[in-house]
Structure 1
């Protein structure tokens, strides 16, 4: 039995449509499928072998995918899936265990602190807002789910600090004032999964004026700490890293 290449399959699918330009679309989708199946960054040569496409064809398709942020070309020349795919998967996210655990935790955190509660994960040299619940303050920062932000502020520092997993001796609470945006402050705590693997940064954010109130900041830090610990336990992370309290 002859096994058809990805290019042959794409061409067959394209011929089933009358509209022009479908061939390029099918080929682009085939590239995305193989980037996902690779399970990590893949070189142009490997991608050509996986798809059966010429490298010149691949480069044109990848250029379009990069411009639309469906694919990312790393500094070492390898390719991986891009962050925009997250937004396309939001309808499916309800069945995703992490998201299912996040929403109740963020809702509790925002209600208890009155500030915006967010969860960030690292995406290359940026951080992506995976989930968020707005606070009840009239003056607050505005970040939407799916937004990519610089690796600055409390969440950015925390994601860098624990990118390889839990590291004993390092503080779990990170606080920032006006680093990313003037007058915006944040407090972040890590959430771990499957033992010591970093799941992301649980964060509360608001104005520098409110966060410089020591009593308010201490209350928020305690609530944040407890929610991060509870999320870690729910995701089968090692809660022993939270044994000493927020300090």
Structure 2
């Protein structure tokens, strides 16, 4: 109903809709042209959206989507079902290798731990879901670990286009890197042998 409308909220949502575009970054002038709002209005709206990380402003002054829309999208049921499908894989990898196995999501210059299985050893990489770090290249999401290592493999073939990676990490010297690579490759080979229909993966 018309009386239920909140104009400021609708304007903010109109700004967010502008980012539903192949274009990754927008100048203030770009957003003014797309939304039809005055720049002074846009600056106020963008300040609020930036405060809650719906948008981010780069050093060049251009705007892009922040992390909050991605975080909220993870609550969608298919993401939870994908997590249920991959958790046993992490459990098996951690048990075989004796190291920390994790599912990472990588994008917009950051990597974030989504799921993790920790080994029983007291000396381990204590990675936790929600931990995030900056990456220079989305194709190389490994975290630099003083006195340790992290190796990663892309899960593009099994993740429905989501930027997901499988990682194995732990203290240096306990698990040789060649053995760690072998464990990751064996896990990918196991995934390749699994049925990839919707029922098996639990996706809609």
Fold conserved (TM > 0.5)?
A: yes
Q: How does 1:83-232 map to 2 (within 5 A)?
A: 83-95=67-79, 99=83, 101-151=85-135, 159-160=139-140, 180-193=144-157, 199-211=163-175, 214=176, 217-231=177-191
Secondary structure of the 1:193 match is: helix
Secondary structure of the 2:139 match is: helix
2:4 corresponding residue in structure 1: 16
Q: CA deviation at 1:210?
A: 2.2
Query: Normalized against structure 2, the TM-score is what?
Result: 0.70
Secondary structure of the 1:204 match is: strand
- Per-residue Cα deviation, 1:105-163 (whole angstroms, up to 9, x for no partner): 223222322322123343233323243333322232333333321327xxx6x8249xx
Secondary structure of the 2:188 match is: helix
Secondary structure of the 2:130 match is: coil
1:168 corresponding residue in structure 2: none
Higher relative contact order (CA 8 A, sep 6+): 2
Change (3 A) 1:235 1:58: farther
The gaps in structure 2 that reach 5 residues or longer are 197-204
Query: Normalized against structure 1, the TM-score is what?
Result: 0.60
Say which is worse superposed, 129-138 or 226-235, in terms of deviation: 226-235
The gaps in structure 1 that reach 5 residues or longer are 1-8, 162-175, 237-247
